[in-house]
Amino acid sequence: SQTIHQWPATLVQPVGSPLSLECTVEGTSNPNLYWYRQAAGRGLQLLFYSVGIGQISSEVPQNLSASRPQDRQFILSSKKLLLSDSGFYLCAWSVTVYNSPLHFGNGTRLTVT
C-alpha cells in the first residue's frame, strides 16, 4: 500500500533563517506531488505541484520554493523565513490518472518567531 511521510511534525524557526521540509511517498511510482499551506485550521492553499522529477509549478508567488530531486521526494524550502510563512504545511500525492483523489501527509506545523 502507498504511504506518505512528512517531517518534521513541528518546527520553530527564527525570522530570516532557512527552511527545508521534506516529503516522501512509498508504494507508488511517478506520483503527482503537491504542497499546500493551511492557515488557522481552515482553507487549503495550493503552493506547488509536480508531475515529474525536476518539474515544479508554482501557484502563488511567495518566499518559498519547491524541488523534486527524486521521483518520490518533494522538498519545500526557503532561504529566509518571514513571519507570514507560519502555518500548517501539507504534502499530498496522487496517481497520474486523471481525477484520482489526493492523499495527504500529517503535515508540519511551522512557527516563525
Partner 1 sequence: GQQLNQSPQSMFIQEGEDVSMNCTSSSIFNTWLWYKQDPGEGPVLLIALYKAGELTSNGRLTAQFGITRKDSFLNISASIPSDVGIYFCAGRGSSNTGKLIFGQGTTLQVKP
Q: For binding to partner 1 (CB under 8 A), which residues are involved?
A: 6, 32, 34, 41-44, 46, 49, 51, 57, 59, 90, 92, 94, 96, 98-107, 109
Q: Find the distance separating the first CA and the last CA of the chain, reported in whole Å.
A: 38
**Closest to partner 1 by CB, 83 or 97:** 97
**Closest to partner 1 by CB, 41 or 69:** 41
Q: Cα dihedral sign for 36, 66, 80, 108?
A: positive
Q: How far from 102 is each of 32, 42, 110, 113, CA to CA, in Å?
A: 9, 17, 22, 31
**Closest to partner 1 by CB, 17 or 100:** 100
User: In angstroms, rounded to a whole number, what is the distance separating the alpha carbons of residues 12 and 99?
Assistant: 36
Cβ of residue 100: shortest distance to partner 1, in angstroms? Answer: 7
Cβ of residue 52: shortest distance to partner 1, in angstroms? Answer: 11
Cβ of residue 99: shortest distance to partner 1, in angstroms? Answer: 4
Q: How many residues does the chain have?
A: 113
Closest CA to 20 of 51, 64, 59, 53: 64
Cβ of residue 32: shortest distance to partner 1, in angstroms? Answer: 5
**Closest to partner 1 by CB, 70 or 96:** 96
